[in-house]
Amino acid sequence: MKKLLIGFFLILGSFARADEGMWFLMFIERLNQRDMEKMGLQLTAEEIYSINNHSLKDAIVQFNGGCTAEIISKDGLILTNHHCGYDAIAELSTPEANYLKDGYWAENKANELKPKSLFVRFFVRMDDVSNRILSKVNSSMSEAEREKAISEEIALIEKENNEGGKYVVSVRSFFQGNEYYYFVYEDFKDVRLVGTPPESIGKYGGDTDNWEWPRHTGDFSMFRVYADVNGQPADYSNDNVPLQPKQYLKVNTGGVQENDFAMILGYPGRTNRWMPSGGIEQNVKFAYPAWVEGSKTGMDAMKKYMDQDEAVNLIYASKYAGVANYWKNRQGMIDALTEFNTAATKAKQEAKFNKWANKKKNRAKYGKVVSTINNYYALTNEKSRHDNYLQQLLRTSAFGTISRGIGKELLAYANADETTRANGIASLEESINAFISEMYLPAEIDILKAQLKLYSSKSTGYPLASAVVDMNGDFDAIIDDYFAKSIFASKDKLVAFLKNPDASLVSNDPLMNLSTNLIAHLLTKSPEVEKAQNDYTAAYRLLVEGMRKSKLATIDYPDANSTLRLTYGKVRSLPTDATNDAAVNYYTTMEGLVKKYKADDPEFDLPSRMLDLYETKDYGSYADKNGYMPVCFLTDNDITGGNSGSPVLNGKGELIGLAFDGNIEAMAGDVIFDKELQRTINVDIRYVLWLIEKYSGAKHIVDEMEIVK
């Protein structure tokens, strides 16, 4: 299959097409409306994004800060991915009532379940403030001075637009600091679980199928937004009522055909399509291999205990899934970027830019841009390897970051006066309970030992000035001793601390000091690196400015950064010379799902009820007109992480599917778009509805929706 990729890594701008790009909604009419209409859009730009009237954007929410979700009923019903709701579902589960494993559907609104912390964010409006902010800076400023001036202006803009705290306002930079926009949001914090399929369906295929096609995963879960009686955001209360949204999506069960128009709205997290060749090379050879190895080390230590005890499995299920997702992603990035020499292609583009930059009229401003960028990466390659080993330690160990979390809270409590302590003790008790409930001590000891051993063996050139790393690798005895002495390893000791707070117990705690040292070491930069980074930041900004000015790169959209975007394309098969069990290459069916079934396999087992319904072909009204039960389908939309849970919409703005993954063939998509092979993997809305109604017996949930064909 991968041989078909040869030659696709060409300059982005020269080959931009309709299915490439993550577009701002406020510019749809000017940049995209005609293209979208030719492909099948039947909505106006005003119906997609409007400040003064209800529009499609009012039905799209950011889910808990990291995914996307959509409102699909007049009573605030939310649809998102199973993996987006995974953490909340795991939190609500116990070994006795294991909703993660067995699924859950609330019989009525009174039975909907409230996780401790879960919110959705509605997008209100955005505007361009580039001229205002850039008027506050000049070329003689250092990067620190520039950042200070920009931050001060941002603070003013945010205050001017938050209406006394009603809204959350975020000012974000784009095109590496060449443009700035502000975004106004409204947050709702009372969000409750309505239903989820069992993990064997919602995570079907596990790590094996992750990023792969064909796919047969029912990756969805459902929640509901609640508000006070006036429809305003409110903390959780029994008096709250389902939100009556400004807009909700109709659900279309007519099915999809190849070349049908497909539009996705969501919150893509991060792309790096302007990344210089040196950055790509650094990631492939230094940063990502360390990330992969560090991730696997943490995963193995977790999995050992997860497999032994279901209660421990629930504690680590979400963390493990998140680490595993990026573990496979980063390895896929290494493979794709290496195989297709992406860094070399970018370097050729930069050589063309350098030639333009050193013309007489451009030399003073742009002449040293490329050399400055390349010098920075050469200086920091080894440090990036070191930093990624250390970052994976901090990411997988609950104790690696206690100096920034629970430890910091305990110190503040100990140093406060009696009145402040009395007012804060309930919050601190809650933090202690959360900290203890989210870790299993034997697993944490092994995770920390394994990660320190790995880090110690890989940190040549950047040794950590700590007793732990200087003890010739005798980590087992040292870490055992640290845990035996630490107050953080015992709930009883933490509770006792609340009664008799003593700051020295925290500041002298061995695990607290280890965490402090690890984080300080990660953040430490030599004067040489500090200067190189200052110069690099300015040079990168000029590179993007110059590439746009010279027309050598004509990307009209900014990199993703967790702001609402629209991407459009078509239902489209994936070119392949490989044999697979997708009935037709743009969709999969329940027949293919059952072919993958392996009894008692942790990734490919299925509930007996699923198998029974398949045998009787009991598909209800959700079967395709050709008789099969659809499961997933492909589109060529341009998405990335953060788009998980995004709605896939037809030309009328009706829901036809739910985006949940990309494909391994185009794993380099965050760096450079592949117009031939980049795909979005979506769960078909008909499969979602079938699972709710026929498999789960929760027809009352389907009845809430407005179904059209």
- 544-547's contacts with Cβ under 8 Å and 24+ in sequence apart are 544/175, 544/176, 544/178, 544/274, 545/175, 545/178, 546/353, 546/356, 546/357, 546/362, 546/365, 546/366, 546/369, 547/274, 547/353
- 142-148's contacts with Cβ under 8 Å and 24+ in sequence apart are 142/534, 143/533, 143/534, 143/537, 143/538, 144/534
Catalytic residue among 403, 644, 646, 696: 644
For 571, list phi and psi in degrees, rounded to 5.
-65, 125
Q: What is the DSSP letter of 584?
A: B
Give the integer Cα–Cα distance in Å for 27 and 47: 13
Beta bridge partners of 120: 63, 188
User: Is 216 an annotated catalytic residue?
Assistant: no
Closest CA to 227 of 243, 238, 239, 248: 243
Give the integer Cα–Cα distance in Å for 428 and 407: 11
Catalytic residue among 82, 83, 386, 521: 83
Closest CA to 681 of 653, 660, 706: 660
- Residue pair 236/189 in contact (Cβ under 8 Å)? The answer is yes
Q: How far is CA 153 from CA 8, 150, 184, 571, in A?
A: 42, 5, 16, 44
Q: How far is CA 704 from CA 162, 195, 639, 689, in A?
A: 34, 14, 29, 12
Give the integer Cα–Cα distance in Å for 457 and 289: 14
- Residue pair 435/405 in contact (Cβ under 8 Å)? The answer is yes
Strand (E) or helix (H) holding 664: none
Count the alpha carbons within 13 Å of 69 in the hemisphere toward its beta carbon.
Answer: 31
Catalytic residue among 19, 58, 209, 219: 219
Q: Which residues of 22-34 are buried (b: 16+ CB within 10 A; e: fewer)?
A: bbbbbbbeebbbe
- 407-414's contacts with Cβ under 8 Å and 24+ in sequence apart are 407/488, 407/506, 407/509, 407/512, 407/515, 410/494, 410/497, 410/501, 410/506, 411/503, 411/506, 411/507, 413/498, 413/501, 414/497, 414/501, 414/502, 414/503, 414/505, 414/506
Alpha helices in 180-248 (DSSP H): 199-202, 206-209
- Residue position matching structure tokens 């992969």: 292
Give the integer Cα–Cα distance in Å for 12 and 275: 12
User: Is 83 an annotated catalytic residue?
Assistant: yes
- Residue pair 634/213 in contact (Cβ under 8 Å)? The answer is yes
For 48, list phi and psi in degrees, rounded to 5.
-90, -45
User: Is 219 an annotated catalytic residue?
Assistant: yes
The residues carrying an active-site annotation are 83, 219, 644
